[in-house]
């Protein structure tokens, strides 16, 4: 398995990580715990060393799953988790107050069965707590040996600069894929300048770029995609043009659409580590197979030209929702 360094931090991880959220949260009913532990072990057998979870996934149950699965592999894997979103009466509430962070870290350490968290992200920027204060608390946790590296998720470049000035960031996590390329405008240049790694979530467009979703696809109410404008039937139909482009390239490269989507991401920068999620062994193998797909500079250029002519229909979050209002500045 190829390895990559997240920015200048010295944190080395497998070139593709495994997003674990969907195993127990966000994409319909939770999967069988034993099966998911087997899947995580299969990922380790294949060289994956980077696993992503969060306190709020479940809440708590996803961290417990990851902690149990990875307990025999202490010191051989990198676990990323997140603080800053609490579940209150079934609703997600942003909370990065210092005392809350300290409570969160203790809970996560216990559930993950580790002495220190390898990579600790603020899950979303809390507008009520200055980022400098958050960075200061994490800096103390690093000094105390409870956290090794830290990062931000869905933060804007101004917040990233302010946080990095207090305690250098190892990674930033945000959505990035052929379907959502906004990070290319400001985020990627800023991360490159500061020497921070980038961990794209939803690198397969929440499944859309696999080519297995069309206008007739429906989602159960516990599947987040059921409320996402991008996944409304009319938008799925319009956006098929992107899938057709990826399928064409996949055919030429003897690969699958998912592998092309991931290979394209990996080719953008050497410090980018996508974390596709899956519950199926065959999808895991397919995703990791993207590392064998090499896009030449000419192929990348042609692909980018074609992508630039495609306009994606539908927002990635419902307008005015708590999700839409939580992306940082």
Q: Rounded distance, CA 294 to CA 111, Å?
A: 39
Question: What would the DSSP string read from start to end of 155-211?
Answer: --HHHHHHHHHHS--SEEEEE-BTTB-GGGTTHHHHHHHHT-EEEEESTTGGGGGGT
CB count in 10 Å sphere of residue 318: 14
The CB-based long-range contact list for 297-302 (8 Å cut-off, 24+ gap) reads: 299/249, 299/253, 300/264, 300/267
**Chain Cα centroid distance, residue 299:** 26
**Chain Cα centroid distance, residue 15:** 13
Contact 150, 121 (CB under 8 A): yes
Structure tokens at 3: 């390895």
Active site residue 57: yes
Residue listed under structure tokens 């079934």: 90
Structure tokens at 86: 């609490």
Structure tokens at 145: 């040996």
List the catalytic residue out of 25, 27, 57, 176: 57
Positions marked catalytic: 57
């Amino acid at each position: 398995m190829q390895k990559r360094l997240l920015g200048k931090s010295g944190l080395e991880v497998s070139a593709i990580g495994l997003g674990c959220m969907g195993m127990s949260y966000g994409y319909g009913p939770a999967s069988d715990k034993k099966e998911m532990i087997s899947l995580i072990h299969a990922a380790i057998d294949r060289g994956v060393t980077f696993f992503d979870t969060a306190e709020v996934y479940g809440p708590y149950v996803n961290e417990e799953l990851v902690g149990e699965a990875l307990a025999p592999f202490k010191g051989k894997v990198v676990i990323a988790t997140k603080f800053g979103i609490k579940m209150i009466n079934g609703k997600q509430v942003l909370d990065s107050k210092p005392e809350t962070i300290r409570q969160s870290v203790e809970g996560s350490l216990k559930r993950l069965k580790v002495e220190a968290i390898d990579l600790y992200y603020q899950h979303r920027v809390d507008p009520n707590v200055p980022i400098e204060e958050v960075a200061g608390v994490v800096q103390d946790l690093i000094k105390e040996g409870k956290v090794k590296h830290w990062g931000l998720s869905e933060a804007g470049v101004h917040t990233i600069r302010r946080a990095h000035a207090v305690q250098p960031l190892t990674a930033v996590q945000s959505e990035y894929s052929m379907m959502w390329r906004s990070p290319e405008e400001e985020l990627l240049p800023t991360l490159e300048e500061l020497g921070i790694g980038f961990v794209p979530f939803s690198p397969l467009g929440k499944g859309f770029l696999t080519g297995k979703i069309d206008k007739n696809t429906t989602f159960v109410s516990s599947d987040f995609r059921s409320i996402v404008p991008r996944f409304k039937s009319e938008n799925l139909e319009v956006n098929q043009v992107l899938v057709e482009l990826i399928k064409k390239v996949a055919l030429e490269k003897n690969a699958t659409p998912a592998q092309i989507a991931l290979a394209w991401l990996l080719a953008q920068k050497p410090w980018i580590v996508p974390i596709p999620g899956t519950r199926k062994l065959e999808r895991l193998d397919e995703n990791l197979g993207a590392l064998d797909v090499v896009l030449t500079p000419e192929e990348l250029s042609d692909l980018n030209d074609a992508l630039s002519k495609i306009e994606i229909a539908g927002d990635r979050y419902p307008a005015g929702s708590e999700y839409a209002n939580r992306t940082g500045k």
